[in-house]
A and B are shown apart, each in its own frame.
Chain A
Amino acid sequence: MIRPKVELLDIDLVNQIISEGIAILENPGIRVHNQEALEILANAGAKVDFQAQVAWIPEKITRQALKTVPHEFTLFDLNGNPAVHYFGDKIHFDPGSGGLTIIDSQTERPRLPLTNDLIKFVKLVETLPQIDAQSTAFVCSDVTPEIGDLYRLYLALIYMNKPIITGAFRKDTWWTMKEMLSAVAGGDKALALRPTAVFDVCPSPPLLWSDTTCQNLIDCARFSIPAQLISMPLAGATAPVTLAGAVVQHTAESLSGVVIHQLVKEGAPIVWGGSPAIFDMREGSTPMGAVETWMISSAYVQIGKALGLPTHAYMGMSDTKIIDAQCGLESMGSNFSAALSGANMISGCGMLDFESCLSYEKLVIDAEMIGMVKRFVKGIEVRDNPVALSLMQKSGHKGEFLTLPHTRKWYREEQYLPSEVIDRASYEGWKSRGEKSTFERARDRVEKLITGYQPTKITEELRQELRAITLRAAQSFGMQSLPPLPQGE
């Protein structure tokens, strides 16, 4: 059986790109605006200019880091079961993260999200089997901005079973988030043994680690919390315009992250991820729906696999402002590219307007896409031997396959069964169901799924502890109380 796959680079180009990435770390080197990281690099033998905050990393240090980096790891759900295996060509999906607005289901226009929105989003993700992990999807506008990152995690931890892909906006709030995860896991050691969360850490193009993200990277390594590198070259603006050139920059930035990370702790889990894009030469924007964006991502994922690392990509998004045809075509093309490229975690479902807006409706529509692409990469399996000869000889010319036990046995395996979001009725059937658009069907489904959400087994004690941690953080930034949770929850 073949696992369908797409590769855009031949082996020589892969090696060339890796060599150039390594060479870039030697010259012009990497900017590191974090004192601790500069010291770590200097101690390891890199040439460091502490004033200019630049490090020149010799090849042998990079090669050594690539030797110690783990080739796989597993994320666990909150019940202690393995849930996401970052390995090989296994694909998993989580929603886009870091959004600022949400599409209002009635007006179909963006608005600022509140606490109840994030809770609803987390619940929705729980009810969608196609989606493997939560994300800290968007910032809630009803809390002070300084706790924007940790507040999302707090809410998610109360309503989720699935593992979560998250990220911090500051150095100090990373610790608060770690404290929460540790409380849920039963201690730092337990958390390291069975990680439930991955932290995104982003270098800035070109070739720069900011103080905050670099510190997050170091702290994740120290506690063996998986760090997901998110290099984001903008081809033609903050990176070379050639697709291959953008991949070289991604390689260099990501390698520098691997080096710093592994110097902090050899063998700590790390992911070769990213969120590159081309730079739109008309609008000066960063289209996630551009096919070239998908190609750059597919290529860097291939590089990550060549280096033996788990991979990730930001795909499955659209640049539209409303849920329309462009939304569908971009999200689907992107999801397909990502699935065929075999990225272990694909972040982006539910997200639109570049990476700024989330939508409940888009999430359920994207869930269908995910169901389809997962089905596609499962390929065509041979269920019987012979494939169909005996069956057809027995069945003859009757054509009554619908009545056969064989059909009943295999149809759920052979076919991805979409929800009513995907319309396959006759014209009259569609009419009789209210002549609904995809968006309207999705909206109905959102409500239906939410009513079916099952609360998790989180203890009251843990809920209080998490709230106390969050409240302490809020108060340290001048916010005296937190928004209330919905009644009876």
Chain B
Amino acid sequence: MENELFQKMAQSVLDGDSDTASALAKEAVDAGIDPLDAITKGFVTGVNKVGESFACGQAFLPELVMAGEAMKAAVATLEPEMQKRGIQRTMLGKVVLATVEGDIHEIGKSLVGTMLSASGFQVYDLGVDVPAARIIAKVKEVDADIVGLSALLTTTMTKQKEVIDELDKLGLRKKVKVMVGGAPVTRDWVQKIEADGYSEDAIGAVAVAKQILGL
């Protein structure tokens, strides 16, 4: 009976249906089902299926993004119950995301955020045109494991190095891993600025994030 519910949960994510995902989450709470089970056995199954589907060209970005939204809706509904029970979803890590100063492009970054949070990371998305100081402040505030920096212009790409240098100066570099991305970012650049990880796309970013944290 539970399995049936879990299947429906997975399907709601596959369908990108936030309303149904939310409703099913509530159903689980009302039925006394462990919210963590709902997440790992229900909704996350859907997230994984969407990822696979995308990888083999059956699903595309809209499906991906909406699946992420559905996941978010489900988790939001389950959160109060988890707090009540005093259980925490084991987050794989904390990620601060930002598009660097002077740059307003954010589609890629937002996609990465969606995929990371759907995959179990705690994501803090600072938005676009974010000065290095604000990024560092957030990294310190939440004790981030990873900072992800996006840039779409070669003229703003250099800010990625700036953040890395700042982390270095503050002695945080060893503790915080840096991922960079955006169309002009190349492997050469990643090596040059000594970033820890890079991915061509949002799906790959999840794997890279896991890998650089040794998961």
Instruction: Please report A residues at the B interface, Cβ cutoff 8 Å.
Output: 100, 145, 148, 169, 204, 210, 236-238, 279, 281-285
Among A148, A204, A238, A284, max chain B CB count under 10 A is at: A284
Chain A residues, Cβ within 8 Å of B107: 237-238, 279, 284
Establish whether residues A284 and B108, one from each chain, have CB atoms under 8 Å apart when the complex forms.
yes
| Given A100-B154, A284-B201, A204 contacting B104 (CB threshold 8 A) | yes
Instruction: Contact check, A284 vs B111: say whether CB atoms are below 8 A apart.
Output: yes
A351 to chain B, nearest CB (A): 16
Q: A204-B104, A237-B107 are in contact. Are A284 and B61 (CB under 8 A)?
A: yes
Asked if B154 contacts A281 (CB within 8 A), the reply is no
Q: A284-B61, A284-B202 are known contacts; what are 13 more A-B pairs with Cβ within 8 Å?
A: A145-B155, A148-B155, A210-B104, A236-B62, A237-B107, A238-B107, A279-B107, A281-B60, A281-B61, A281-B62, A282-B61, A284-B107, A285-B183
Would you give the 0/1 interface string for B157-199, flagging 1 where the beta carbon is closer than 8 Å to chain A? 0000000000000000000000000011000000000000000
Is the C-beta of B214 less than 8 angstroms from some C-beta in chain A? no
A-B contact pairs, 26 of them (CB 8 A): A100-B154, A100-B184, A145-B155, A148-B155, A169-B155, A204-B104, A210-B104, A236-B62, A237-B107, A238-B107, A279-B61, A279-B107, A281-B60, A281-B61, A281-B62, A282-B57, A282-B60, A282-B61, A283-B201, A284-B61, A284-B107, A284-B108, A284-B111, A284-B201, A284-B202, A285-B183
What's the least CB distance linking B100 to chain A, in Å?
15
A-binding residues in B (CB < 8 A): 57, 60-62, 104, 107-108, 111, 154-155, 183-184, 201-202
**Nearest CB in chain B: distance from A247 CB, A:** 20
Q: How far is the CB of A203 from chain B (nearest CB, A)?
A: 12
B108 neighbours in A (Cβ, 8 Å): 284
- In the complex, A469 Cα to B104 Cα: how many Å? 31
Which residues in A have their C-beta under 8 angstroms from that of B155?
145, 148, 169
Q: Which residue of A lies closest to B201 (CB)?
A: A284
**B residues near A285, Cβ cutoff 8 Å:** 183
A282 to B61, CA, bound (A): 6
Which residues of the partner chain B approach A169 to less than 8 Å between Cβ atoms? 155
Closest CB in chain A relative to B58 CB, distance in Å: 11
B89, chain A: closest CB distance, angstroms: 28
In the assembled complex, the CB of B74 is this many whole angstroms from the nearest CB of chain A, namely 24
Bound state CA distance, A238 and B104, in angstroms? 12
Q: Which residues of A contact B111 (CB under 8 A)?
A: 284
- A287–B150 Cα distance when bound, in Å, is 21
Q: In the complex, what's the smallest C-beta–C-beta distance from A7 to chain B, in angstroms?
A: 30
Residue of A whose beta carbon sits closest to that of B158: A145
Of B61, B108, B184, B201, the most chain A CB neighbours within 10 A belong to B61
Residue of B nearest to A148 (CB): B155
In the bound complex, residues from chain A placing their C-beta under 8 Å from that of B184 are 100
Min CB distance A487 to B, Å, is 30
> In the complex, how many angstroms separate the beta carbon of B127 from the nearest chain A beta carbon?
14
* Min CB–CB distance B81 → chain A (angstroms): 35
Q: How far is A284 from B104 in the complex, measured between Cα atoms in Å?
A: 16
Nearest neighbor of A112 in chain B, beta-carbon distance? B154
- Nearest B residue to A145 via CB reads B155
Which residues of B lie under 8 Å from residue A283 when comparing CB positions? Answer: 201
A148 to B60, CA, bound (A): 37
Chain B residues positioned under 8 Å from A279 (CB to CB): 61, 107
Q: Looking across the interface, which residue of chain B has its beta carbon closest to that of A285? A: B183
Give the distance in Å from the alpha carbon of A169 to the alpha carbon of B156 in the complex: 13
Query: Closest CB-CB distance, B56 to chain A, in whole Å?
Result: 11
Distance to closest chain A CB from B151 (angstroms): 13
In the bound complex, how far is the Cα of B108 from the Cα of A459, in angstroms?
A: 49
Give the CA-CA distance A279 to B155 in the complex, in Å.
23
> How far apart sit A236 and B61, CA to CA, in the bound complex (Å)?
10
Interchain CA distance A28-B155 in the complex, whole Å: 31
A-B interface, 5 closest residue pairs, ranked by CB to CB distance from nearest: A281-B60, A281-B61, A237-B107, A282-B60, A145-B155
B185 → chain A closest CB, angstroms: 13
Q: How far does the alpha carbon of A344 sit from the alpha carbon of B111 in the complex, in Å?
A: 38
Closest chain B CB from A27 CB (angstroms): 23
Q: How far is the CA of A148 from the CA of B154 in the complex (A)?
A: 12
Bound form: Cα–Cα A278–B77 in Å: 35
User: Which residues of chain A are within 8 angstroms of B60 by Cβ–Cβ distance?
Assistant: 281-282
A283 to B60, CA, bound (A): 9
A281–B62 CA distance with the chains assembled, in angstroms: 7
- With A and B bound together, what is the CA distance between A238 and B107 in angstroms? 9
| Bound CA span A100–B156, Å | 14
Give the complex CA separation of A100 and B184 in angstroms. Answer: 10
| Nearest chain A CB to B65 CB, angstrom units | 10
Please measure, in the bound complex, the distance between the C-alpha atom of A169 and the C-alpha atom of B153, giving whole angstroms.
12
A358 CB, min distance to chain B CBs, angstroms: 15
Q: Which residues of A contact B61 (CB under 8 A)?
A: 279, 281-282, 284
Residues of B within 8 A of A145 (CB): 155
Which residue of chain B has its CB nearest to the CB of A141? B154
A238 to B60, CA, bound (A): 17
* Nearest CB in chain A to that of B202: its residue: A284
Measured in the bound complex, the distance between the Cα atoms of B62 and A236 in whole Å is 9
Bound complex: CA of A169 vs CA of B57, how far in Å?
38
Q: Which residues of B contact A204 (CB under 8 A)?
A: 104
Most chain-B CB neighbours within 10 Å: which of A210, A279, A282?
A282
Residue numbers in B under 8 Å from A282 (CB-CB)? 57, 60-61
